[in-house]
Amino acid sequence: MSVWIRLHAQLGTLALDVALDWTDRPLALIGPNGSGKTTLLRIIAGAARAERGVIVVGDRVLYRSVDGIDLPSEERHVGYLPQGHGLFPHLSVRANVAFGLRHLPRAERLSRVRVALETVDLLALQDARPSELSGGQQQTVALVRALVTEPELMLLDEPLAAMDATNRRALRSVLGARLQGRPAIVVTHDARDVAALGADVCVLEEGEIVQRGSLFALRADPQTAFVAEFVGQGTAG
């Protein structure tokens, strides 16, 4: 599935101008704080407004300003993982994962949830509340909850940010495996995430994409101080 994005949005004083297209794999989005990464994800998810542009996933037009197409979030088939997981604290793990499967018959819904939790070894915790899980387990459940609805594009906002080293390594390999071959945008501050995902990197600074390429290419010729800093940190990991 290919993704085609052209967006212009005004966020206060920051003008977000983005052109992205890629096919069937995760794309790592990096950039300093305040460069517009989270807003970009929210615009694609349909939770924030763009001034103009186009978002096409596969053969589906999610947004196209020229002819006024602007699908609501629930019709975009996009999986969104916000910073801090966004699990519903009043629902059990099972109910969280089942949330997006309401259209399915009960038996099928439950079996899908069971299989999904089994593959990440969290079936034993299906009756727990999110607050009873570790940070890594919470992120994993949030990831499973999004994936179980089979979204056509995954959007992950710093999925490994609030994690200790052990959890981070474990979840990094889960992410690598589960996002393999899928269109996804993963916001990260860590070059090791990029390597684990086998992703191309896209650098967003002050609302504009300043460089794009493989980790290797970025390392060979960093275009900005931020990129140099980012790939420098990667060589240490």
Residues within the interface to other proteins (CB under 8 A): 42, 45-47, 72-74, 76, 78-84, 86-90, 99-100, 102-103, 142, 145-146, 149, 151
CB 161 to other proteins: min, Å: 13
Select 1 or 225, whichever has its Cβ closest to other proteins. 1
Closest CA to 63 of 10, 5, 149: 5
Nearest-5° angle of CA 132, CA 178, CA 150? Answer: 90
Alpha helices in 29-164 (DSSP H): 37-45, 93-98, 106-119, 135-147
CB 188 to other proteins: min, Å: 17
Select 78 or 218, whichever has its Cβ closest to other proteins. 78
Select 87 or 218, whichever has its Cβ closest to other proteins. 87
CB 222 to other proteins: min, Å: 32
Select 86 or 222, whichever has its Cβ closest to other proteins. 86
CB 134 to other proteins: min, Å: 19
Select 58 or 84, whichever has its Cβ closest to other proteins. 84
* Cα dist from 101 to 70, 110, 113, 153, 171, whole Å: 23, 9, 9, 17, 24
Sign of the C-alpha dihedral, residues 97, 99, 103, 108? positive
CB 13 to other proteins: min, Å: 16
